Structure 1
Amino acid sequence: MKLEEIFLREIVLWRCMRALGCVLLFQHFVSMGVCTIYRTVVAEGVINPLTILANLSTSWVMPAKLLSLTIPAICLILLARVHINNYAVSAWIPMYQWQSWRRFFTFKVQLGFSMITGACVLLSSFYTSLALPTFPQVFVRCSAEDVLCGPRKMAVICVGMFTGISYSMKYFLNNGNIITPAPAHPRKLQLIKSSLRMQKVKEACNTYGVSSFSLTCTVFLCIFASVVMCLSGGGSFPDVMHILELQLVMIVILSTLLLVTTLSVFSNILNIFLSEPIEIPLTVDEDSTSGTEEDSWRLCHTLSSSGLLQLLAFWDLKTLASADPRSLLRRTQIFTISQPGGHPRNWLGIMNPSLNLVRKFTDRLRRHNCPEELPQEPPKPVEATDVNKNEVTKPPPVPLKERLTKIVMSLKRYPIFSYFLSELPDATNRSIFAEALPVIWAVEALGDLVAASFTEDKFGIVQRNIPDILMAFVHLQKMVDSVGRVSVTRRASTSDNCQSDQQLRKALKLSLRTSIYIVTTTFGPTVLEMPVSGECRSKLQSYLEFKEA
């Protein structure tokens, strides 16, 4: 079994179940409590505190109320299913304008849209039925005598669909599915409490399109749809006046706020649990066979994986290499050699994947921004004669891909086609820097480990690789600086508000500069005597003189 499958089955699913349990407790105590208070104070008109407390305690322990939690449990399972299948660790940057529409109409995204919207409609109906029992559930058939049942259902469905579509647009098209480990991970309970603050709820309302203006428009739209449905179903003018009452407006606002709060709490808690750091062992047991060692749960193997497992592995490596006294015992295992044989397997198992990641990132930047520096392939000689040694006058046929490319290039001359077919400004560099988070942690970890080896490496296993590490850092810094000078850094027409690629670009520059300064200040002028290139030596000289800022 591959490491990604082990990580998904044994860690991700268990963390998702714990997150669902926390959100279900939130539904049981907070959502049901708010709906009970609304039903007691607003609907029944009882303001006695003892009655309110009695109704709260009854709603929390009554078996019928506990059985009704199956509806939010099913909705949360649907939401968790969508989040587990669609989460990402880096931002998605479209290369062209039409790629956003192409992503929107894919089967996977449309399936996620429908599941999220359906779950939001069920949750909205659940909240309205808790707050006001006269409001029927969506799946309950209306009676023929109740003329207001259909319009009220329409109002609830409109609220759920509006919130679900807003959340889905944010999640799928505006990089709302990114999971990033926290820089300083405190207790999970503190993070969960911070996600329940009113400021967080207000930000969630603005994020998912439930601001004051949009909420007002939605309420009036729901009421208008309910009035039209009531009149078309044979309702009279007094029935329409019953729909326009304040109670419907208040219950729509309450269900919308509870739905938005639930979505915000669910996404935050799921992100907290999934991004929880893991401690991966450096070594395996002595009796492990060579066949199982390739897929063993070991740091050197997880660093070469992909996705969330690789991100958490580099976070664990960064924590391991830091100056935290709690990581001192694990860090000493890196500077050991195998017995018998005397091979630095732990160090090489960490250094090789990290250095390969840094070099691949540098090659991607060089391939896009400096193609003239890449080795050019020699042109293939064109045969002037055929098999019978006769001169060939007919040119070779043009490939279909090249003909399609020419057609697309000709269409770019028209403004309407140029809007969809032209590449977005700096899109390739943005997509590259959006994946720079593990590279940043690899650079910081290698810099800290090289500095720690000055006092902790008793066998000198790190010194032979310091020139390769410094040259990789200098080459990457050169490429990042050159990209920063020629690329477009301010884009007013972008749809992504958080600009994660710009933040990661600045963080990568800072981590490279910090790591090189740590190494040069630790080893001093001896870094100039290492076998590095002349360009790298001059760069290290400027670091020794503190000229790099």
Structure 2
Amino acid sequence: MQNTLLPPASAGVGQQPTSRPVNTVELECKRICVIRCLRAVTCNVAMQFLLLTLFLLFVNFSVWHPINWIVQTFRLILSIYTWLCITPLIAIVIIYGIYLGKSYLNERQMYRNRFMTIYKTTLPKCLFYTLHFLIGILTTWFYSRFLSDDYHTLFLSRSECSTDSYKLSSSQICVNEKYLLISLYGSLIAIWYCWKKDPSSESCEFPIIHQSKYLRIRAFLYSVLWTTLIQVFVPVMVSHVFYSLIGRLPFQWFLRRLLSVEFVLNGNVHVYDIKLLIITWILITHILSNLHLMAFLFQAFLTQPKVFPIEAGSLSDNVFNKQQVNEVTLVQALANSKVPIVRQLAALDLYTLSEYGDLYKRRQQIFALSIPGGHPYNWNALSSQCMSLINAFNSELRTAVNNLKNLPQIKLNNNVLPNQAKYMQPFSSNLQAMPVPEFRSSTPTSATEMADKIRNRQYNESCGIRNMLTPMAPTDNEQLLSPIKPISDPCARFNQTMCILQDKIQSVKTIIFNMPGIRFLFGENEMAQLHALLTISKADEIGWMVQGLSTIAVHSLHEDRYGVVQMNLPEIITTLLQLRESINQLPPSLFNVNTVSPYLRSFQSKPSGAILLRNAVKRSLYNICITFNEYLSELVTNQNDLRILQNYIDFLEA
């Protein structure tokens, strides 16, 4: 039978070259994320109608006609005019959701200096600022359609701005001050949210206790509406009073200078205008709550736990279940580096199946042996993948800590230059001993003796006679009285000149770098690498892997019938101890909870990544030491490691 799979060399002249194979695992991981992002965008669109309903119920509230109040509200929601007006807002929400989902799916980048940070993040931040500005403007424009005539018109007729003593000229334009004020507040609060939260560098935060999406969204909706309603009341009231008293004239002058058009405000904003104050308060609360909800909905859908199969389906399963062919296994999801959120979901699934007792059947698939052959392929693949990720993270963490410790003690902003600082470095053990200088006589040498010495040295160098003794450095008197410089090798003289030139260039670079602006932009941040490694998402991922492996090892004492886990248990313990040692070398500032701002702390349920990782390693070592207390001396041979583990056995490790 002729083989149809020919090598590329045997292909015909007119045959097209073979296409590049498609990575089905990566496509399946992206498909999982795209589906979840589409659901989050759809839920965001539906949330706009829910918030509109709440706003209309508040605006059209009537105690005497409750039935008419409800009917009129839903009639407005279902009208064609409302759907046409909400279309621009929905379009901006969809675009904002696409970019927000992209920022959540991308891995957070690390930049060593402020210049690269500004260069790489300026365009995404400008895009997000523009989208937030449009959301604020369109929200106030759309919701003002359902208010009275004083709030939904920007330009007024000249008669409304004219009085008996003042008439508008043909070049002047009358502007509705109330509408302009609420639009200004709406855009400023959206820009302030973008500056405070920075959605372009946001990462998904997994909850501590996992619940269904409905429960999480309902609880967050109640809390965010009440929290923002209380938080914005005082700023809105202060800004309203400030604008009513002294802010109108500067604002009018600023508009005239900015747009080169002579605007005239109608002047109907007063301190005692309670209606304007309440409407502004409600609109700002609505915009801020809407932005918080859009970010939370993406996190709620992307962080929803997913069950990954332990092994791919058999041949019989593939015949009847076509969807299982492209299903991503747990090991494949952990090995995926293109989509970080899928790797975090796989680590969470590993932690979940190791913790709960009702997942006994899934753990049995990990402990099972292959048929035929009897090899623990599932456990070997899972443990090797987790150990490689943990060891890679530990190696990066140690490199960052060592770079932080090996910083030069002589700062560049001191008066010591690099060519002077290189002689002040500490000696290394592999350096050769410096020759001991010979002691010279303190008695002065005559001019005749010094001339004879110089003449003999020149004669020896010209004839190629090498001095077998250690050459002594010429004294100051010899250098001053020597009329002829010693003849040296041209290559050595060139190298000496290049060294001097390099020192001068380095000195100029140091002087330029010590300038305040240059140092601020191009100075390297020593803590940038540690902050990039110890984010909450990365700490969650490594912590779940560590706890998952340790808990599976604990369950294997009673559930593993073949003892496949015991072969890798010493390696797991050694890796945990190495990770513990790296965490203990971290700076104490990374374990400080007060570094997070109070505003972000109110919406953040977890401490810093260093604290999460330290607690995960400590919990894993405690579980292993308590379970394998009687066998630790056989599993661990290093006496120093045994002393450390003894502290966990005695519950002395805090």
1:201 partnered with 2:201:
no
Percent of aligned positions that are identical: 19
User: Shift of residue 476 of structure 1?
Assistant: 0.9
Residue 189 (1) aligns with residue 222 (2):
no
Cα deviation for residue 166 of structure 1 reads 1.4
- Aligned pairs (5 A) from 1:170-249: 170-172=196-198, 177-197=202-222, 199-201=223-225, 203-204=227-228, 210=232, 212-213=234-235, 216-217=238-239, 224=248, 239-241=266-268, 247-249=275-277
Q: Cα deviations across residues 217-273 of structure 1 (Å, max 9, x unaligned)? A: 278559737755699967778x32378855544433332221112112222222111
Pick which of 83-92 and 335-344 moved more: 83-92
Distance 1:331 1:131 in 2: 60
Q: 5+ residue gaps in structure 2? A: 1-21, 161-172, 407-427, 432-488
Query: Is the Cα–Cα contact under 8 Å of residues 154 and 226 in structure 1 kept in the other structure?
Result: no
Residue identity in the other structure for 2:554? A
Q: Give the deviation of 1:127 after TM superposition.
A: 1.4
Corresponding position of 2:305: 277
Quickly say closer, same or farther: Cα 1:403–1:217, change in 2 above 3 A: farther
Residue from 400, 407, 429 that aligns with 2:530: 429
The answer to whether the 8 Å contact 2:577/2:641 transfers is yes
The structure 1 residue matched to 2:35, chosen from 1, 6, 14, is 14
Alignment check: 8 A CA contact 2:534 2:609 kept: yes
Q: What is the rounded CA distance, in whole Å, between the counterparts of 2:69 and 2:376 in structure 1?
A: 68
AA paired with 1:38?
A: V
Q: One-letter code of the match for 1:339?
A: I
1:490-531: CA deviation from partner (whole Å, max 9, x where unpaired): 598877955999622122222212211211221222121125
Tell me if structure 2 keeps the 8 A contact 1:36–1:130: no
Q: Could you tell which deviates more after superposition, 492-501 or 186-195?
A: 492-501
Pair 1:308 & 2:411 matched: no
2:281 matches 1:264: no
Shift of 1:200: 2.5
Is 1:168 paired with 2:194? Answer: yes
Contact 1:75 1:123 in 2 (8 A): no
Q: For residues 256 and 58 of structure 2, what CA distance do their matches in structure 1 show?
A: 30
Please give the TM-score of this superposition, normalised by the length of structure 1: 0.80
Letter in 2 for 1:201: L
Look up the equivalent residue of 1:87 and give its one-letter code.
Answer: Y
Report the residue type matching 1:159 in the other structure: Y
How far has the Cα of 1:167 moved from its partner? Answer: 2.1
Q: Is residue 82–residue 115 contact of structure 1 (8 Å, CA) maintained in 2?
A: no
* Structure 1 residue 368: Cα displacement: 2.7
Structure 1 residue 416, shift from structure 2 partner: 5.2
Structure 1 338/392 Cα, relative in aligned 2: closer, same or farther at 3 Å? farther
Contact 2:368 2:376 in 1 (8 A): yes
- Paired position in structure 1 for 2:423: none
What is the Cα deviation at residue 278 of structure 1? Answer: 0.8
1:31-46 to 2 correspondences below 5 Å? 31-39=52-60
CA shift at 1:115, angstroms? Answer: 2.2
Match of 1:54 among 71, 94, 98: 71
> Which moves more between the two structures, 414-423 or 126-135?
414-423
Aligned to 2:16: none
2:101 aligned residue (62, 84, 99): 84
Does the 8 Å contact 1:525/1:544 carry over to 2?
Answer: no
In structure 2, what is the Cα distance between the partners aligned to 1:212 and 1:196? Answer: 22
Equivalent position of 2:568 in the other structure = 465
Normalized against structure 2, the TM-score is what? 0.68
Q: Aligned pair 1:481/2:584, yes or no?
A: yes
Q: Could you say which structure has the larger radius of gyration?
A: 2
Structure 2 Cα separation of the partners of residues 323 and 80 of structure 1? 35
Q: 1:319 aligns with which of 344, 352, 359?
A: 352
> Which of residues 494, 505, 508 is equivalent to 2:613?
508
1:297 aligns with 2:297: no
Report what 2:3 is aligned to: none
User: Partners in 1 of 2:105 and 2:504 — Cα distance?
Assistant: 36
Residue aligning to 1:385 = none
The residue identity in structure 2 corresponding to 1:359 is: N
- The answer to whether the 8 A contact 1:467-1:532 is kept is no
Q: 3-state SS of the aligned residue for 2:268?
A: helix
Contact preservation (8 Å) 2:306, 2:345 = yes
SS at match of 1:462: coil
Tell me how far apart the structure 2 counterparts of residues 121 and 248 of structure 1 sit (CA, whole Å).
17
8 A Cα contact 2:136 2:186, kept in partner: yes
Once the two structures are superposed, residues 11-65 of structure 1 have per-residue CA deviations (whole angstroms, 9 ceiling, x without a partner) of 3332233333333333223323423531566xxxx85333322312322333433
Q: Give 1:332-371 correspondences, 5 Å limit.
A: 332-370=364-402
**Could you tell me how far apart the structure 2 residues matched to 1:294 and 1:536 are?**
45
How many residue pairs match? The answer is 519
State the Cα distance separating 1:83 from its structure 2 match: 0.5
Name the CA distance, whole Å, in 1 between partners of 2:314 and 2:137: 55
In structure 1, what is the Cα distance between the partners aligned to 2:653 and 2:595?
34
2:4 aligned partner: none
Q: CA RMSD in A?
A: 4.2
Are the structure 2 counterparts of residues 298 and 257 from structure 1 closer, same or farther at C-alpha, using a change threshold of 3 Å? same
Contact 1:28–1:69, Cα closer than 8 Å, also in 2: no
Work out the CA distance in 2 between the residues paired with 1:390 and 1:408: 28
Question: Which residue identity is paired with 1:505?
Answer: A
Describe the shift of the 1:417–1:481 C-alpha distance in structure 2 as closer, same or farther (beyond 3 A). Answer: same
Q: How does 1:87-106 map to 2 (within 5 A)?
A: 87=104, 95-96=112-113, 101-102=118-119, 104=121, 106=122
Q: Which residue of 1 aligns with 2:484?
A: none
Q: Secondary structure of the residue that 1:195 maps to in structure 2? A: helix
The letter for the 1-side match of 2:546 is: V
Q: Mind listing any 5+ residue stretches in structure 1 that lack a counterpart? A: 380-388
The 1:226–1:545 alpha-carbon spacing in structure 2 relative to 1, beyond 3 Å, is closer
User: Does residue 123 of structure 1 match 2:226?
Assistant: no
Equivalent residues of 2:135, 2:187 under 8 A apart = no
Query: 2: distance between equivalents of 1:206 and 1:425?
Result: 40
User: What is the SS of the residue equivalent to 2:372?
Assistant: coil
Distance 1:195 1:254 in 2: 18
Distance 2:95 2:636 in 1: 58
Cα distance in structure 2, aligned partners of 1:392 and 1:275: 65
- Checking the alignment, whether the CA contact within 8 Å between 1:32 and 1:130 is kept in structure 2 is no
Are the structure 2 counterparts of residues 488 and 465 from structure 1 closer, same or farther at C-alpha, using a change threshold of 3 Å? closer
**Residue 520 of structure 1 corresponds to which residue in structure 2?**
625
Q: Identify if the C-alpha distance between structure 1 residues 211 and 416 changes in structure 2 by more than 3 Å, giving closer, same or farther.
A: farther
Deviation (angstroms), 1:109: 2.3
Query: Is 1:335–1:461's contact at 8 Å kept on the other side of the alignment?
Result: yes
Q: Tell me, yes or no, if the aligned pair for 1:148 and 1:230 is still in contact at 8 Å.
A: no
Asked if the contact 2:28/2:327 (under 8 Å) is kept, the reply is no
* Residue type of the alignment partner of 1:340: P
Residue 298 and residue 492 in structure 1: after superposition, are their counterparts in 2 closer, same or farther (change >3 A)?
closer
Letter in 2 for 1:465: N
